[in-house]
A = this chain, B = another copy of it.
């Protein structure tokens, strides 16, 4: 079972987001255990990341990838890092430098700025898509 942790700041208040995330978590649950770790502020985010290795920073300045390239890079990283990865979503003030320096991969979803809520949804859908691409399931085409 793969384990993916998502570290982020602030609760998700919207009900629609909760429903959308639950749908993808259910779809993923056979092969990947997703764990959310929600910090109340920036210092707590840094603290929660302290014991994590294999950090991936979701950073506007990071590398832009197609879904196919993300799939390759993500599945390779799962293998190289022992089936456990941690994605970090920064707050509105951008990404804390000390977490950036510890990340082995800086990934940008888009040059557009999204809400943190939407980043959670896009991230989980891309993780699902990445595994479907790997399985050649036809979900992605």
Q: Assess whether A25 is interfacial by the CB under 8 Å rule.
A: no
B65 close to A112 (CB less than 8 A): yes
Bound Cα distance A141, B121 (Å): 20
Complex interface: chain B residues within 8 A of A110 (CB): 64, 109-112
Bound Cα distance A113, B132 (Å): 13
Query: Size of chain A's interface in residues, with CB distance under 8 A?
Result: 28
A66 close to B121 (CB less than 8 A): no
B92 close to A113 (CB less than 8 A): no
9-residue interface stretch from A13-21, A33-41, A79-87, A97-105: A13-21
B20 close to A112 (CB less than 8 A): no
- 14 more A-B residue pairs beyond the given contacts A66-B112, A110-B112, with a C-beta to C-beta distance below 8 A: A16-B19, A16-B20, A17-B20, A64-B64, A64-B110, A64-B111, A65-B111, A67-B113, A109-B110, A110-B110, A113-B129, A114-B122, A115-B125, A118-B125
Give A contacts to B, CB under 8 Å. 14-17, 19-20, 23, 64-67, 70, 92, 109-115, 118, 121-122, 125-126, 129, 140-141
